[in-house]
């Protein structure tokens, strides 16, 4: 069974299809699997579903893993997604700020990813 077949939500599956290739390009297949494993362990559910429903919670999990390097890691990830045309943002900081925004982050993120 592939990773994408285990998703809890259709939206999470869709987001994974968008984001995973950019993350794999940055981290490699093994690095991506390690990151997903740690995020699942921290979040106790599918990280991509959490990213869609509670971006701030996702951000806190990434921060738990990368510490002070979390913001830079997210900016690099966002830059790659912008370059690949899967993130509609003028700057990687827009993505980071959406993840940090506890109140309107989900709305901002869904617009950037062009999700329902």
- Domain locations in the chain as residue ranges: 3-112
Least confident of 4-8, 29-33, 49-53, 103-107: 4-8
Tell me the backbone φ, ψ of residue 4, rounded to 5 degrees: -65, -20
| Two tokens, residue 41 | 């362990």
Q: What is the pLDDT of residues 5-40, one digit of tens each?
A: 455 688 888 889 888 998 899 899 999 999 999 999
Give the pLDDT confidence score for residue 2 in this predicted structure: 43
Contact 105, 98 (CB under 8 A): yes
Contact 64, 56 (CB under 8 A): no
Q: What is the pLDDT of residues 59-101, one digit of tens each?
A: 999 999 999 999 999 999 999 999 988 899 999 999 999 999 9
């Amino acid at each position: 069974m592939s990773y994408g077949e285990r998703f809890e939500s259709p939206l999470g599956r869709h987001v994974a299809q968008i984001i995973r290739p950019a993350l794999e390009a940055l981290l490699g297949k093994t690095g991506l699997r390690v990151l997903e494993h740690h995020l699942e362990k921290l979040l106790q559910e599918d990280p991509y579903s959490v990213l869609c429903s509670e971006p701030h919670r996702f951000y806190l999990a990434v921060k738990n893993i990368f510490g002070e390097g979390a913001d830079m890691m997210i900016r690099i990830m966002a830059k790659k997604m912008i370059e690949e045309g899967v993130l509609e943002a003028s700057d990687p900081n827009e993505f980071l700020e959406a993840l940090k925004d506890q109140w309107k982050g989900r709305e901002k993120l869904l617009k950037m990813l062009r999700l329902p």
